[in-house]
Structure 1
Amino acid sequence: MEPTSNEIDREFRFFRTYKNGRVEKFYTTHKIPPPNDPITGIHDPTRKLPVLFYIHGGGFCFESAFSPLYHNHVASLVTEARVIAVSVEYGLYPDQPIPACYEDSWAALKWVVSHSATNGPEPWLNEYADFDRLFISGDSAGANISHHLAVRVGPDGLSGVKVNGIVLVHPFFGGLKEDDEMWLYMCPENGGLQDRRLKPPTEDLAGIGCGRVLIFFAAEDHLREVGQRYYDELAKSKWGGSVEVVEHEGESHVFHQMKPDWEKATNLMKKFGSFINQK
């Protein structure tokens, strides 16, 4: 007999699958249209600004660069840090299983870098972007992807740009059975629990293609322990850069987006901005 539409096969934190192949997500993502003027807010057109390449979270299966949550968050970062931001819309499970998220983000980063000679397809990047000050950042799943982009940039860098640093907000790096099983399920061709995208090996940490890393932790975050492991392994590696940690007590995963006006969320944003503008 053919399986019916309501026979559950697997259930994870963010979705369940059915034996007939249907996937039911537990969260929906509302999208808003992009603004007509991408350079709104640039008050000094003669000054080039740092570039923030931002990768949204969402467990590799939901959320969007076009959701109000992330649109507002990145817009606030633009204001706080005085940067040009490129927010990435990458492929999500189940329409595009992992590794689409990594490959799409890498393609988007290379697209941004294509403007470094001031002859790229987007005039506002040609005109206003300072490619000697490029930063990669993301939260949760986006922080995971940010790390892997920095590894892919590597010690030799990308021609025409300088990746100054990465900012990892409440990062996901495996180590929790439920989340690990979900990631492996979304990535049909995986290397098991030791997959370097899930658990970065020492050689990857040593080859991060920037000189500075900032990691934000939330003390009550279920990913706090695995984030600490990443920090410890990075500190022990032969990377040679500087890593800084900021922890917010009593807060949970991505609290700053749920409560953007909260004092600790404001603190996070200010620290984010000062890291980018550090001389």
Structure 2
Amino acid sequence: MESNTSEIAHEFVPFFRVYKDGKVERITGTKLIPPCIDPQTGVESKDTVFSPENNLSARLFIPKPTNRDKKLPVLIYIHGGAFCIESPFSTLYHNHLTTLVNKANVVAVSIQYRRAPEHPLPAAYDDAWAAIQWVASHAKGDGPEPWLNQYADLDRAFIAGDSAGANIAHNMAVKAGVSGLVGVKLVALVMVHPYFMKGEPDSLIKFIFPSNQGSEDPRINPASCDAGRLELSKLGCSRVLVFVAGNDWLRDRGLSYYEALKGSGYSGVVDLVETEGEEHVFHLFNPEGEKVEPMLQQFVSFIHQV
């Protein structure tokens, strides 16, 4: 008997539904925008494949031509969306990276990763590391992407992300510290409203990360398990900036991460910025809000401290 595509097998609102025939329907985060030259800022973007085997691309951003007269810091950005929605090509992230590149005067590499539930975690972690390795392949100026060869200073690399992307960014900084990263000098990690667990994983994580190790998995619970706290001390960068929002349901988890990192023996500098009265990733959903500009200026100032 054929399955009925209208029958829902699993549902995680507002993210996705899985139907009994295997079809996945994403509920939000599906609006896309092509690369372009932004008419307001002059920031230029384009897409380039970094993983042909998994059909993954990065969206690259460079500042307006008058700001490209010297090598620029590199911002490797990992989008959020609970590991299962959004992409570098979605309107939210395209617009956000355009703004960041214009304000910070950096080259940005906004990376795509395979999303759950079709590709359960740890696929996203593997893809993010592959993207970083791809960026590193341009260290001698002869990599496959001309923009990185011409404009990117890989001795001044930042990795950043929001929500689930901040989780992935943290794990990439851990991997860089533990395994080493040749070709890129990772100077700092920026985490915006990071998505971590406290205690046992929730139902979404259990579904999209079936191989997780529960409350003792350092990838999702770095502040509250022994392995996670040990990894914090080994982050492969010298500075960390953590953003939290006062009305965010993840606020306490971001604060726990900040406190755990400070107490871990990590030798670098750790900063915390809290935006009171705001919700999770408010800067993406309301980019014209009065508290967005101060937040972005703190982000930019952190980059310019190098």
Short-chain TM bin: over 0.9
Equivalent positions of 1:131-210 (< 5 A) are 131-154=154-177, 157-175=180-198, 180-200=202-222, 201-210=228-237
What residue is the counterpart of 1:254 in the other structure?
281
Deviation at 1:17, TM superposition (A): 3.6
User: What is the CA distance between 1:58 and its match in structure 2?
Assistant: 0.5
Which shows bigger deviation, 24-33 or 141-150?
24-33
Structure 1 position 33, deviation (Å): 2.0
1:93 aligns with 2:116: yes
CA contact (8 A) 1:157 1:163 kept: no
Gap regions ≥5 residues in structure 2: 38-43, 46-61, 223-227
Indicate the SS of the match to 1:154: helix
Is 1:48 matched with 2:71? yes
After superposition, where does 1:109-124 map in structure 2 within 5 Å?
109-124=132-147
How many aligned positions are there? 278
How far is 1:239 from its partner?
1.3
Question: Partner amino acid for 1:150?
Answer: A
Deviations 1:101-137 (A, max 9, x none): 1111110111011111111011111111111110000
Aligned equivalents of 2:26, 2:169: Cα separation in 1: 24
Aligned partner letter, 2:140: A
Matched, 1:277 2:277: no
Is the 8 Å Cα contact of residues 169 and 215 (structure 1) preserved in structure 2?
yes
How far does residue 139 in structure 1 lie from its aligned partner after superposition? 0.3
Structure 1 Cα separation of the partners of residues 297 and 117 of structure 2: 36
Q: Is 2:283–2:289's contact at 8 Å kept on the other side of the alignment? A: yes
CA deviations 1:34-64 (Å, max 9, x no partner) are 2375445131443111000000100111101
Q: Distance in 2 between matches of 1:273 and 1:167?
A: 11
Q: Give the secondary structure class of the aligned counterpart of 2:211.
A: coil
- Superimposed CA distance per residue, residues 170-214 of structure 1 (whole angstroms, 9 cap, x where no aligned partner): 00011287x722012102322123222111211111111001000
* Residues 168 and 215 in structure 1, CA contact (< 8 A), matched pair in contact too: yes
Q: Is 1:104 aligned to 2:127, yes or no?
A: yes
User: For residue 25 of structure 1, what is the amino acid of its counterpart?
Assistant: R
- Normalising by the residue count of structure 2, what TM-score does the alignment of the two structures yield? 0.84
- Partner in structure 2 of residue 83 of structure 1: 106
- The 5-angstrom pairing of residues 194-233 of structure 1 reads 194-200=216-222, 201-233=228-260
AA aligned to 2:30 is T
For residue 68 of structure 1, what is the aligned residue in structure 2? 91
- C-alpha change, 1:10 and 1:124, in structure 2 (3 Å) is closer
RCO higher in structure (CA 8 A, sep ≥6): 1
What's the counterpart of residue 30 of structure 1? 31
Task: Note if contact 2:114-2:127 (Cα within 8 Å) is conserved in structure 1.
Answer: yes
TM-score by length of 1: 0.92
- What is the SS of the residue equivalent to 1:263? coil
- Residue type matched to 2:26 in 1? K
Q: Residue 156 of structure 1 contacts residue 209 of structure 1 at CA under 8 Å; is this kept in 2? A: no
Q: Which letter maps to 1:12?
A: F
Contact 2:73 2:107 in 1 (8 A): yes
Identity %: 50
Distance, in Å, in 1 between the alignment partners of 2:145 and 2:36 is 15
Task: Check conservation: 1:155, 1:210, Cα contact below 8 A.
Answer: no
